Amino acid sequence: MISVQTTLPTNIWVSATWEEYEQAIASPAYTKAKGYYHNGQMRIEMSPVGPNHATDNSLIDILVNLFGIAKGLPMRSLSNCSYRKRGVRECQPDLSYYIGDRASLSPQGSSVVDLDSTPAPDLAIEIADTSLADDLGVKRLLYEDVGVAEYWVVDVQQASITAFRILPNRASQRIAQSQVLPGLAIALLEEALQRSRQMDNSHVGAWFMAEAQKQ
């Protein structure tokens, strides 16, 4: 049995029961950690968030919301929200969105979202600096099982985005254009990320908004 009295390995997947996972994330030592659970394994993320990760996280949220504004698309965004199917799985994407008619289904309150009573978000996004391989691998499988419609991984180091749509059979398929944000090309988001290396968010956002309105 895993004991949280000693330091747990972090930023890797560790075999654990659901009860051990709950005990770990309830420990004061991991108050600021992100928790994931899938297929009998848990991952506690304690990696420090550097400026590039933080900047891309905020910029992607700005851009997605600007696209919704440009298209008159209802949307609710959540940052670092935990989604849980008790005893089975849990995830905590950097960003998640309820879009269109499902915006009204966005959860309220201060507790972990219960996936047995609340639908999964339409879009989940992980911002990857040091966790790219895991975000593209095990976490992608986790989000397939969670049942999001779309999953994006933002590569901070390359200023690029790998986007997947989740199929009904819980497989995933690479996409070049968002399905939940109709008309949004992933390449346009990538160009905005690349521009942000030389420009501030306000100027990038203004450029992106003008481009989005042309779509």
Q: What is the pLDDT of residues 20-68, one digit of tens each?
A: 999 999 998 898 899 999 999 999 998 767 788 999 999 999 999 999 9
- Tell whether 171 and 148 lie within a shared domain: yes
Say if 3 falls within a structural domain: no
The average confidence (pLDDT) of the chain is: 94
Tell me, what's the pLDDT at 6? 53
Say if 132 falls within a structural domain: yes
- Tell whether 40 and 113 lie within a shared domain: no
- Tell whether 73 and 96 lie within a shared domain: yes
- Tell whether 24 and 104 lie within a shared domain: no
- Tell whether 22 and 109 lie within a shared domain: no
- Tell whether 167 and 62 lie within a shared domain: yes
CATH code assigned at 123? 3.90.1570.10
- Tell whether 38 and 103 lie within a shared domain: no
Say if 192 falls within a structural domain: yes
- Three-state DSSP class for residue 143: helix
Tell me, what's the pLDDT at 120? 97
Pairing of strands 113-114, 83-85: parallel
**Residue 196 has which token pair?**
């942000």
Tell me, what's the pLDDT at 215? 76
The residue to which tokens 């659901």 are assigned? 18
**Residue 110 has which token pair?**
């201060």
Say if 1 falls within a structural domain: no
- Tell whether 69 and 18 lie within a shared domain: no
What residue type is 48 in one-letter code?
P
Question: 154-189 burial by CB neighbour count: b if 16+ within 10 A, else e?
Answer: bbbeebebbbbbbeeeeebeebeebebbeebbbebb
Say if 32 falls within a structural domain: yes
Q: Which residues fall within 8 angstroms of residue 175, CB to CB, at 6 or more apart?
A: 150, 163, 164, 165, 186
Total-model pTM: 0.94
Q: Beta strands of the chain (E only): which ranges?
A: 13-15, 34-38, 41-45, 75-79, 83-85, 89-91, 95-99, 113-114, 123-128, 150-155, 160-166, 172-175
CA 2 and chain centroid, separation? 27
- Tell whether 32 and 64 lie within a shared domain: no
- Tell whether 189 and 96 lie within a shared domain: yes
Q: Check if the beta carbon of residue 78 is closer than 8 Å to that of residue 120.
A: no
- Tell whether 41 and 102 lie within a shared domain: no
**Residue 64 has which token pair?**
């997605």
The domain containing residue 27 runs over which residues?
A: 13-45
Number of domains in the chain: 2
Tell me, what's the pLDDT at 7? 66
Give the pLDDT band (50/70/90) at residue 164.
very high
- Tell whether 33 and 139 lie within a shared domain: no
